[in-house]
């Protein structure tokens, strides 16, 4: 029997699974894992049913159903004024996580370095490690969770193969601006590094701000993979449908990995999403307002607690500082909240290589109003 040596020895069960299971065990309100407690639009569900019975149940095109890729191109043009070729620049994937993995493995090789900004979504580092590369963690500045450009510049070197950015940012809810992207383009001007831009919350931006995409930055677009998610947009996280937009040469390498990973994505869902994108653009156009109402309700309801909040600028997550409540480490505090107060949250040290001293936990407010009210009542005594 050969000795088994893990390729990911430092990786355990994700914090999202751990906290959701704990919420089930203690009958807690689950504001930890990022999923809504309401259904996708009825019209979209009806289109899925239609395509299930219309014979769309066999393998689609490896890169995605052509009608869906065409609708994605229309959406990108409408929102960002950017022309994308559905045939050579858009690839539909089995969730954004698959797209992130494929982008990393398309260009990152053993011995390379990949820069990520902490707190960073937990799928980045394992994908980089599996590619044989080194993850270079740079902490975002506090309290605003912005890029420390001096530290970034110091980290860049000849081994830097990729920089991973995420905006709107999970878990902090911060945003990169068009000026930030220009600064990034400046810093990378003399480096042969690619950009992986995680933009899955592109439509969930608040207070009349706009989403800044790498696709609209001409200098970054030619070296970038931009990743998006239908699950986040249409309240259907379990469908696991995302897509990647990248220049033809990068898309070609991306698809070489994709075709031997998942190969393709559920056919009737792709057809249904194509229909809904064409018929109901008002859904994604109004998503920021929809979630801003939930954010504002969340902040109002929790204002009576001793938790401290700086209003999220995007995503459907809200960070809270709990220094005034407890001096427990955040993993212990999250467990205490779940077990003793019946509300599950995410400790954000799970997103860090070297956590800061500040104590934060992450709430998900993609919930029905009655769910948020019940959670607020449970935590009112904090």
pLDDT digits (tens, 9 = 90+) for 32-82: 999 999 999 999 999 999 999 999 999 999 999 999 999 999 999 999 999
Question: Residues 222-227: what's their mean pLDDT?
Answer: 98
The CA-atom distances, in angstroms, between 20 and each of 13, 104, 287, 327 are: 12, 28, 25, 23
Question: Residues 17-38: what's their mean pLDDT?
Answer: 94
Give pLDDT, residue 25.
95
Could you say which architecture CATH assigns to the domain 42-280? 3-Layer(aba) Sandwich (3.40)
Q: Is the pLDDT of residue 2 over 90?
A: no
What is the percent of the chain where pLDDT is above 90? 94
Of residues 10 and 373, more confidently modeled: 373
Residues 6+ apart with CB under 8 A from 242: 92, 93, 94, 95, 96, 97, 98, 99, 200, 227, 228, 229, 230, 231
Residue 349's Cα: distance from chain center in Å?
17
Give pLDDT, residue 316.
98
Q: What pLDDT band is residue 193 in, cutting at 50, 70 and 90?
A: very high
Give pLDDT, residue 102.
98
What whole-number distance in Å separates Cα of residue 338 and Cα of residue 344? 5
Q: What pLDDT band is residue 315 in, cutting at 50, 70 and 90?
A: very high
Q: Which strands, in side-by-side order, build the sheet including 224-229?
A: 90-93, 242-245, 224-229, 194-198, 160-166, 113-118, 134-139
Give pLDDT, residue 331.
94
Q: What pLDDT band is residue 380 in, cutting at 50, 70 and 90?
A: confident
Residue count (the chain): 382
Give pLDDT, residue 382.
82
What whole-number distance in Å separates Cα of residue 19 and Cα of residue 174? 23
Question: Residues 314-321: what's their mean pLDDT?
Answer: 98
Question: Residues 211-236: what's their mean pLDDT?
Answer: 98
pLDDT digits (tens, 9 = 90+) for 73-89: 999 999 999 999 999 99
- DSSP tally for the chain: helices H, then strands E: 15, 12
pLDDT digits (tens, 9 = 90+) for 229-267: 999 999 999 999 999 999 999 999 999 999 999 999 999
CATH 3.90.1150.10 boundaries in the chain? 15-40+285-379
Mean residue pLDDT of the chain comes to 96
Q: Is the pLDDT of residue 11 over 90?
A: no
Could you say which architecture CATH assigns to the domain 15-40+285-379? Alpha-Beta Complex (3.90)
Give pLDDT, residue 271.
98
Beta strands in 47-122 (DSSP E): 90-93, 113-118
The CA-atom distances, in angstroms, between 336 and each of 76, 301, 304, 326, 364 are: 44, 21, 19, 10, 18
Give pLDDT, residue 304.
87
CATH 3.40.640.10 boundaries in the chain? 42-280
Question: Residues 132-159: what's their mean pLDDT?
Answer: 97
Q: What pLDDT band is residue 320 in, cutting at 50, 70 and 90?
A: very high
What whole-number distance in Å separates Cα of residue 202 and Cα of residue 288? 9
Is the Cβ–Cβ distance between 143 and 190 less than 8 Å? no
pLDDT digits (tens, 9 = 90+) for 160-185: 999 999 999 999 999 999 999 999 99
pLDDT digits (tens, 9 = 90+) for 100-141: 999 999 999 999 999 999 999 999 999 999 999 999 999 999
Give pLDDT, residue 252.
98
Instruction: Give the bridge partners for 234, in sequence order.
Output: none
Q: How many CB atoms lie within 10 A of CB 12?
A: 9
Question: Residues 318-333: what's their mean pLDDT?
Answer: 95
Q: What pLDDT band is residue 186 in, cutting at 50, 70 and 90?
A: very high
Is the Cβ–Cβ distance between 74 and 68 less than 8 Å? no
């Amino acid at each position: 029997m050969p000795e088994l040596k893990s390729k990911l020895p430092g990786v355990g069960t994700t914090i999202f699974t751990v906290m959701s299971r704990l919420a089930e065990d203690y009958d807690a309100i689950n504001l930890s894992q990022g999923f809504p407690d309401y259904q996708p639009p009825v019209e979209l569900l009806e289109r899925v049913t239609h395509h299930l019975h219309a014979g769309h149940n066999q393998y689609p095109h490896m890169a995605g159903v052509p009608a869906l890729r065409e609708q994605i191109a229309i959406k990108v043009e409408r929102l960002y004024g950017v022309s994308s070729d559905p045939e050579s620049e858009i690839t539909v994937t089995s969730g954004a996580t698959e797209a992130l993995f494929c982008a990393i493995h398309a260009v990152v090789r053993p011995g390379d370095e990949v820069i990520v900004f902490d707190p960073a979504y937990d799928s980045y580092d394992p994908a980089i490690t599996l590619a044989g590369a080194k993850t270079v963690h740079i902490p975002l500045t506090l309290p605003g969770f912005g890029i420390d450009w001096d530290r970034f510049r110091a980290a860049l070197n000849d081994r830097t193969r990729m920089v991973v950015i995420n905006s709107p940012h999970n878990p902090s809810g911060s945003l990169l601006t068009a000026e930030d992207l220009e600064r990034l383009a400046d810093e990378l001007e003399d480096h042969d590094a690619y950009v992986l831009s995680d933009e899955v919350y592109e439509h969930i931006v608040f207070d009349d701000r706009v989403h800044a995409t790498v696709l609209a930055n001409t200098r970054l677009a030619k070296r970038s993979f931009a990743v998006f998610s239908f699950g986040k947009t249409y309240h259907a996280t379990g469908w696991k449908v995302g897509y990647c937009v990248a220049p033809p040469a990068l898309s070609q390498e991306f698809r070489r990995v994709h075709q031997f990973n998942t190969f393709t994505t559920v056919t009737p869902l792709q057809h249904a999403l194509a229909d809904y994108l064409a018929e109901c653009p008002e859904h994604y156009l109004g998503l920021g307002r929809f979630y801003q109402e939930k954010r504002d309700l969340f902040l109002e309801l929790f204002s009576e607690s001793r938790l401290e909040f700086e209003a999220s600028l995007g995503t459907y997550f809200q960070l809270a500082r709990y220094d005034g409540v407890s001096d427990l480490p955040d993993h212990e505090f999250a467990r205490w909240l779940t077990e003793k107060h019946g509300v599950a949250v995410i400790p954000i040290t799970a997103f860090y290589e070297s956590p800061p001293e500040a104590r934060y936990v992450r709430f998900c407010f993609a919930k029905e109003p009655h769910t948020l009210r019940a959670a607020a009542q449970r935590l009112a005594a904090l």
